[in-house]
Amino acid sequence: MKTVLCFGDSNTWGYDPASITEPYPRRHPLEVRWTGVLAQGLGPKCRVIEEGQNGRTTVHEDPLNIARKGSDYLPACLESHKPIDLVVMMLGSNDLKAAFNMTPVDIATGAGVLARMVLSSTAGPNNKPPKLLLVCPPPVGDMSHLPELAARIPNGAERSALFPRYYSALAASLGCEFLNSQDIVKPSRLDALHLDADEHLKLGTAMALKVLSLL
């Protein structure tokens, strides 16, 4: 059996954008989340592990949302789930927050720190590194109707639109596989950040085709 680890933020966790008006985050059902669609597409000979967390960053500690630093958690995560055949990593959207003051190229550099952790680890079969599929995060949408959120993620749409350039260059420099989610999905109009159910289906279907080609 092949093992695929999906390491990401709230869009990997399956945050339902309709819950933005509710007191706590709500999750899409398992079969709706792109990770669930991926698992179904891969079939019974593959095990898909969801490792999504709301607010997770690449390398930044959020003073208002503790224990979200991906670089702190990733080593233990790799060790816990080994042997892993493939790591699918989609992170960077939360690094757009004003608190971090990061440019798109800085954010891709942070993703590179995590990518190198994967590629230098012994978390794969036979104590070798697993394969890595680096996924460019989805675009950020129009936040004009969400002024408080827009203040936390200034110029989110414009800045996230630059992600594909830098993430694809990162993947090329590392020699790992790349997928641009911005060619596949768009964010919900409700919160401009998370994916509606139909977008999860699109992403999971595309992920399954890509992952099958790698495994």
Mean pLDDT of 87-110: 97
Q: Which position has the token pair 């939360």?
A: 94
**Total residue length of the chain:** 215
DSSP, collapsed to helix, strand or coil, labels residue 38 as helix
What's 38-54 look like in SS3? HHHHHCCCEEEEEEECC
Listed residue (41, 38, 42, 12) closest to 27, CA to CA: 12
Quick one: CA torsion of 85, 120, 34, 49, rounded to 10 degrees?
60
pLDDT in tens, 18-40: 998 888 899 999 999 999 999 99
Residue 84 contacts by C-beta under 8 Å, 6 or more apart in sequence? 3, 4, 5, 49, 78, 123, 124, 130
pLDDT in tens, 149-163: 899 999 999 999 999
Residue-number span of the structural domain to which 210 is assigned: 2-214
Residue 6 — φ and ψ, nearest 5°?
-105, 110
**Which residues share a beta bridge with 49?**
5
CA 155 to chain centre: 20
Structure tokens at 185: 């999905």
Structure tokens at 153: 């993620």
Q: Output the domain CATH number for residue 16.
A: 3.40.50.1110
Give the whole-angstrom CA distance, residue 80 versus residue 56: 18
**pLDDT in the model for residue 21:** 82
Listed residue (39, 43, 46) closest to 14, CA to CA: 39
Give the whole-angstrom CA distance, residue 17 versus residue 130: 32
DSSP, collapsed to helix, strand or coil, labels residue 189 as coil
**pLDDT in the model for residue 151:** 93
* Structural domain count of the chain: 1
Residue 4 and residue 42 in contact, taking contact as beta carbons nearer than 8 Å: yes
Predicted confidence band of residue 177 (pLDDT cuts 50, 70, 90): very high
Give this prediction's pTM: 0.96
What share of the chain in percent tops pLDDT 70?
100
